[in-house]
């Protein structure tokens, strides 16, 4: 029997790509999600999951549930015996978190606490946590390795990632013999599944660069605002470590394998190790899409840093994982998804 893995936030961008990789690796994912940002398809099924079902020809068990609903969560843990949990559910918009900090703390921290307590009560002690390079704050050195100081991030969203990491670290310390956790610090996930059936579908105006560029390319937005061209970088625009979401998802499968050896609490960067500027990404998307992408230079965005890229060697050494795809493939797959689904999951036809 396939080992069951609970996937919180499995309907979202990274979560849904992990669901695909879990199934392909022979696991049985059970999804818990409040589907707060989800588009519904036939029979009210969240479209991302419906498309995975069509793509892989299987059905996926999912529960529409908020992690704040602790009795509801208990029920799912009573029904199943999980080998591990992958925890993606949470709010993630940096700007919104500055405006509504208490909301972010309640949803992200209380939701995670409920999950950890219910895991503890039901003897499920293997956890993969979706963390972020944001925990490093403004980098003191580049590339960023896992030893880099953490906690320096200034927005509430980033702080919730840091606090959740700390809760997990402390729980693993207290229950040394039993608990295993892998904290994965993502750099900038982009791209989409190569089928073009699932991808990132931000509701409203995209906050992140690549979804915005893709919407300009497809004609949904007129031009990109480049937030600052006076940074100390190769062309003055911000530099980030973009990683293909499928590579990222494979990193989670590698993390699951660590549990077989009772790994304790581990932390890994998931990035490629190479940084690209905003203008380099504009060029790469122009090439992938064959469309011109208009842009204008705008003032810096508050809270942005000049450069951020990973030292990903620890993940390679210990997880046996490294990113395979470069920016060409990331942009090609992003363009396939965006051009097949100009309005995201809403168009409902690309099945
Ligand atoms: N950018 C633009 N125009 C846009 C959007 C972004 O010029 O419309 C620039 C930014 O200034 C930055 C780069 O593109 O230089 C990347 O910006 P993103 O918003 O795509 O990504 P960030 O690195 O700012 O943020 C990401 C995640 C956050 C996480 C953070 C740190 O979205 O959740 O990395 O790890 F907190």
CATH of the domain at 159: 3.40.50.720
> Could you confirm whether 186 is annotated as catalytic?
no
Write out the DSSP string of 92-161: --HHHHHH-HHHHIIIIIIHHHHHHHHHHHTT--EEEEEEEGGGG-S-SSSSB-TTS------SHHHHHH
The domain in which residue 237 lies consists of 4-345
The answer to whether position 207 is within a domain reads: yes
Closest CA to 179 of 253, 117, 259, 67: 259
Q: Is residue 152 part of a domain?
A: yes
Instruction: State yes or no: pLDDT of 141 exceeds 70.
Output: yes
Whether 236 is covered by a domain: the verdict is yes
Q: Which residues line ligand 1 (CB under 6 A)?
A: 92, 94, 132-134, 158, 188, 207-209, 212, 224-227, 238, 240, 278, 301, 304
- What backbone torsions phi and psi does residue 25 show, to the nearest 5 degrees? -90, 0
Choose, from 13, 27, 104, 157, the residue flagged as catalytic: 157
Percent helix, strand, coil in the chain, to 5, is 40, 20, 40
Ligand 1 mean position, distance from CA 150 (Å): 19
Question: Nearest residue CA, atom 26 of ligand 1?
Answer: 188
pLDDT tens for 336-348 read 999 999 999 987 4
> From the CA of 64, how far away is ligand 1's center (Å)?
30
Residue 351 covered by a domain: no
pLDDT digits (tens, 9 = 90+) for 208-217: 999 999 999 9
pLDDT tens sequence across 65-84: 999 999 999 999 999 999 99
pLDDT band at 350 (very low <50, low <70, confident <90, very high): very low
31-57 pLDDT per residue, tens: 999 999 899 987 888 999 999 999 999
Could you tell me the distance, in angstroms and rounded to a whole number, from the CA of residue 311 to the centre of ligand 1? 19
Q: Whose CA is nearest to atom 5 of ligand 1?
A: 209
**Number of structural domains the chain divides into:** 1
- Tell me what the pLDDT averaged over the chain comes to: 96
């Amino acid at each position: 029997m396939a080992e069951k893995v609970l996937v919180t936030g499995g309907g979202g961008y990274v979560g849904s790509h992990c669901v695909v990789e879990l199934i392909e690796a022979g696991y049985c994912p059970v999804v818990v999600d409040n589907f707060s940002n989800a588009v519904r398809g036939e029979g009210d099924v969240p479209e991302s999951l419906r498309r995975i079902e069509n793509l892989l020809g299987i059905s996926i068990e999912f529960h529409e549930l908020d992690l704040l609903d602790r009795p509801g969560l208990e029920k799912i843990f009573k029904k199943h015996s999980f080998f591990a949990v992958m925890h993606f559910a949470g709010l993630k918009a940096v700007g919104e978190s500055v405006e509504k900090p208490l909301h972010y703390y309640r949803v992200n921290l209380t939701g995670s606490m409920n999950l950890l307590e219910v895991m503890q009560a039901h003897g499920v002690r293997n956890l993969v946590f979706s963390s972020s390079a944001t925990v490093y704050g403004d980098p003191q050195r580049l590339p960023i390795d896992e030893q880099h100081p953490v906690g320096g991030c200034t927005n509430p969203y980033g702080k919730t990632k840091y606090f959740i990491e700390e809760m997990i670290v402390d729980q693993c310390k207290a229950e040394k013999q039993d608990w295993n956790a892998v904290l994965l610090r993502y750099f900038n996930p982009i791209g989409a599944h190569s089928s073009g059936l699932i991808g990132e579908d931000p509701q409203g105006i995209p906050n992140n660069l690549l979804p915005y560029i893709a919407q300009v390319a497809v004609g949904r937005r007129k031009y990109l605002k480049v937030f600052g061209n006076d940074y100390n970088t190769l062309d003055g625009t911000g530099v980030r470590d973009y990683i293909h979401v499928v590579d990222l998802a494979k990193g989670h499968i590698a993390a699951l394998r660590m549990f077989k050896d009772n790994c304790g609490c581990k932390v890994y960067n998931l990035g490629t190790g190479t940084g690209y500027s905003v203008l380099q990404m504009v060029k790469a998307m122009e090439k992938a899409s064959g469309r011109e992408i208009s842009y204008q230079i705008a003032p810096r965005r508050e809270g942005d840093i000049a450069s951020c890229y990973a030292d990903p060697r620890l993940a390679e050494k210990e997880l046996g994982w490294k990113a395979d795809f470069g920016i060409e493939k990331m942009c090609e797959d992003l363009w396939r998804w965006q051009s097949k689904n100009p309005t995201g999951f809403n168009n409902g036809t690309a099945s």
